Structure 1
Amino acid sequence: MSLRAIVVGPDEDELTAALEAEGADVARLTGVVSRPALEEAGVLEADLYVLTDVGQATTIPIVCDLADEIRTVVYARDSAPEFVKGQLDLAIDPALMSSSIVAEELAN
């Protein structure tokens, strides 16, 4: 069974491609993301939720509410807001770890 991931926000560091290279099935969302958009992208079946735009941090509590077992990751240069840090499994700065290393770790 392959990893099902949703990547939200810009993908300047090419994390989507790196996840796909690891065999993940990735849905991409950009712009302002709503609960219906998350549901349409398959959040209920997803294993992993990656946020690259901390301006969309309000989606993390929504994702956690919809899917109990989903892993949540922020992969961004900016810090995640305090109100979501308790719901994050991992926060990584792309300047410190390449997308290929992150994808490899997340896929295993």
Structure 2
Amino acid sequence: MTELNAVVVGPDEDEITPALEAEGATVTRLNGVVTRPVLEEAGIVEADLYVLTDIGQATTIPIVCDLTDDVRTVVYARRTVPEFVKGQLDIAIDPKLMDASLVAEELTD
């Protein structure tokens, strides 16, 4: 188990947050409209992992990438990732295809 800091944005009906915590990650959860100041306050600059579960908040990915080069960006959602984000994304995973515990295990290794 590797300890890492993660920021998870959006609803968590597929339970990625508890899965990451079970693997030893410290998780900050954000809901609602997420802006640059909100991300900074949540500690995104020190985070190792940014997990987006709400495709409606896809514009946060370029903001995260602008704030830090050291974060892995992950979309864990059932909807398709918009084209404008794909180049800045490390990985996109559909929860129907991969269970949250397996995703968390891979992300923390």
Q: Work out whether the TM-score is over 0.5.
A: yes
Letter in 2 for 1:98: D
Letter in 2 for 1:44: V
Task: Deviation per CA, 1:23-61: give whole Å up to 9, x if none.
Answer: 000000001001111001100100000000000000000
Aligned pairs for 1:1-108 (under 5 A) are 2-108=3-109
- Structure 1, unaligned runs of 5 or more: none
Say which SS state the counterpart of residue 18 (structure 1) adopts. Answer: helix
- Structure 2, unaligned runs of 5 or more: none
Structure 1 moving runs of 4+ over 4 Å: none
Letter in 1 for 2:17: T
Alpha-carbon distance in structure 2 between the residues aligned to 1:24 and 1:56: 22
CA RMSD for the aligned pairs? 0.7
TM-score, structure 2 normalization: 0.97
Q: Percentage identity across aligned positions?
A: 75
Say which SS state the counterpart of residue 45 (structure 1) adopts. Answer: coil
Say which SS state the counterpart of residue 7 (structure 1) adopts. Answer: strand
Alpha-carbon distance in structure 1 between the residues aligned to 2:12 and 2:55: 13
